């Protein structure tokens, strides 16, 4: 079954809010084999709503309309839908009681007359009772299509999808299945990757699709199979994913849909390994990305943001002479920073960065975008210099991914080649 989501409201169109509802709805629909084919954000006007409904009917079986159900005058959804379905609005007594009850519990107590209109529903609709707010949802079945009208407030919408919409949809399509498999790769670009697995991709059966989802420094591969035989879908998709995983070898860091940062936190935690950071140009970003993962405290001991040179000397025991001879942005200094962090925080691994993030601070010898990164592991310290570009935010992000990739590579080498 195909679905379309229509979100109504000027605050999305003028950029004041980001539409996170649609992605959430799509995530709920995927496991029950309902594919969202289009998401349209439209204005709060009768003509925009009518056009959107007409066009959605051409493309989809299920049409979810969110927003535009509030009591204020700029919400025209219900009246427009009534005209569109050639029906009227009726006041639902159960909803009216519920709305009055919510108001009687509020601070002011008295309910403006305008709010009674919240209890008006399409005469041809089945009411989707909204326990957590005043605007009821509505389900209309007409012309062989299924329409769900929901409020735009995220937690009300989520309540109605979970408790009212999904149970209805589950009954509609018990026969097709969707199965997904994921591979997370690091250290190889999208096009190199595509070339390495071209033959596998060309030989894939038609019911499996492969998508490349690149993000700075990593590429996510998503295999999606659709069909009626669930065990066949699963078997074939898993077989293809593991064929690709074997071909790509150590570029694959995870066989599920998680971030590279989460892979590192999990694997280090499993192995009982401890990590520290000593960041200059990345300014705490590496620590922040790792500690954004729940459970990071299992493996992350701590870090230093060593912006001033004195901090490099005082906290990380970088040698003053080395600093003076080679400068703060140098392989010699970043090596000492990593080794100093490993000692200070008493860890198995430490990451250190030093560079010219920009836009100022560059020189002919050390231009903007030059970043030195060191990883100190159990047996050795590896150091590399990168030359990124002019944008400060991107340089910080690239240096972060480069450092995590170096950490991962050293970790893999040392784990496959144990110290003891």
Footprint of a second copy on 361-390 (CB under 8 A)? 361, 387, 389
User: How many Cβ atoms are within 10 Å of 171's Cβ, its own excluded?
Assistant: 8
Examine residue 414 and tell whether it contacts a second copy (CB under 8 A).
no
Tell me the C-alpha distance between 28 and 170, whole Å: 11
Taking CB under 8 A as the criterion, the residue among 227, 340, 355, 358 binding a second copy is 358
Q: Which range in 88-96, 106-114, 237-245, 330-338 contacts a second copy by CB under 8 A?
A: 106-114
Q: Least distance in Å: CB of 409 to a second copy? A: 12
Helical axes 392-416 vs 260-271, angle rounded to 10° = 30
Give the residue with the Cβ less far from a second copy, 374 or 406.
406
Give the residue with the Cβ less far from a second copy, 284 or 327.
284
C-alpha 139 chain-centroid distance: 30
Q: Which of residues 14-73 bind a second copy (CB under 8 A)?
A: 14-20, 22-30, 35-43, 48, 51-52, 55, 59, 70-73
User: How many Cβ atoms are within 10 Å of 24's Cβ, its own excluded?
Assistant: 14
Give the residue with the Cβ less far from a second copy, 72 or 231.
72
Whether 186 and 221 have beta carbons less than 8 Å apart is answered as no
352 sits in the region (left: phi over 0; alpha: psi -120 to 50; else beta) called beta
Taking CB under 8 A as the criterion, the residue among 122, 218, 233, 290 binding a second copy is 290
Q: Which residues pair with 65 in a beta bridge?
A: 6, 149
Q: Which of residues 125-144 bind a second copy (CB under 8 A)?
A: 132
SS3 169: helix
Size of the site for a second copy (CB under 8 A): 108
Whether 274 and 346 have beta carbons less than 8 Å apart is answered as yes
Tell me the C-alpha distance between 166 and 370, whole Å: 52
Tokens of 76: 């025209």
Q: Which of residues 169-208 bind a second copy (CB under 8 A)?
A: 189-192, 194-195
Residues 226-255 as x/- pattern, contact with a second copy by CB under 8 A: ------------------------------
Give the residue with the Cβ less far from a second copy, 25 or 183.
25
């Amino acid at each position: 079954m195909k679905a379309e989501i229509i979100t109504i409201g000027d605050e999305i169109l003028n950029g004041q809010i980001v539409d996170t509802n649609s992605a959430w709805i799509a995530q709920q629909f995927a496991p029950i084999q309902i594919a969202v084919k289009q998401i349209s954000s439209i204005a709060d006007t009768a003509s925009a709503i009518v056009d959107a409904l007409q066009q959605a009917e051409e493309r989809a079986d299920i049409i979810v309309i969110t927003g535009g159900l509030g009591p204020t005058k700029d919400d025209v959804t219900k009246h427009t839908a009534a005209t569109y379905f050639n029906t009227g609005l009726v006041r639902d007594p159960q909803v009216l009681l519920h709305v009055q009850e919510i108001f009687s519990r509020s601070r002011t107590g008295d309910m403006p007359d305008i709010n009674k209109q919240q209890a008006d529903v399409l005469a041809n609709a089945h009411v989707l009772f909204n326990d957590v707010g005043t605007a009821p949802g509505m389900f209309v079945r007409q012309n062989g299509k299924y329409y769900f009208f929901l409020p735009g407030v995220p937690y009300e919408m989520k309540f109605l999808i979970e408790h009212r919409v999904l149970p209805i949809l589950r009954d509609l399509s018990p026969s097709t299945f969707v199965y997904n498999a994921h591979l997370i790769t690091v250290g190889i670009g999208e096009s190199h990757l595509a070339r390495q697995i071209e033959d596998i991709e060309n030989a894939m059966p038609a019911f499996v699709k492969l998508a490349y989802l690149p993000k700075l420094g990593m590429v996510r591969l998503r295999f999606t199979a659709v069909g009626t035989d669930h065990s066949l879908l699963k078997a074939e998709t898993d077989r293809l994913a593991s064929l690709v995983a074997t071909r790509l070898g150590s570029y694959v860091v995870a066989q599920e849909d998680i971030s590279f940062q989460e892979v590192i936190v999990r694997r280090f935690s499993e192995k009982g390994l401890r990590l520290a950071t000593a960041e200059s140009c990345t300014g705490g970003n590496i620590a922040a990305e790792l500690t954004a993962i729940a459970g990071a405290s299992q493996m992350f001991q701590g870090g230093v943001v060593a912006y001033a040179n004195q901090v490099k000397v005082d906290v990380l025991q970088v040698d003053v002479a080395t600093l003076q001879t080679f400068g703060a942005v140098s392989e010699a200094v970043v090596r000492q920073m990593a080794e100093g962090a490993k000692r200070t925080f008493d860890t198995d691994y430490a990451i250190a960065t030093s560079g010219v993030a920009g836009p100022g601070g560059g020189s002919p010898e050390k231009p903007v975008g030059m970043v030195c990164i060191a990883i100190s592991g159990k047996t050795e310290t590896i150091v590399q210099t990168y030359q990124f570009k002019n944008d400060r935010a991107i340089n910080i992000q690239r240096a972060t991914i480069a450092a995590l990739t170096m950490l991962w590579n050293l970790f893999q080498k040392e784990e496959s080649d144990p110290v003891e």
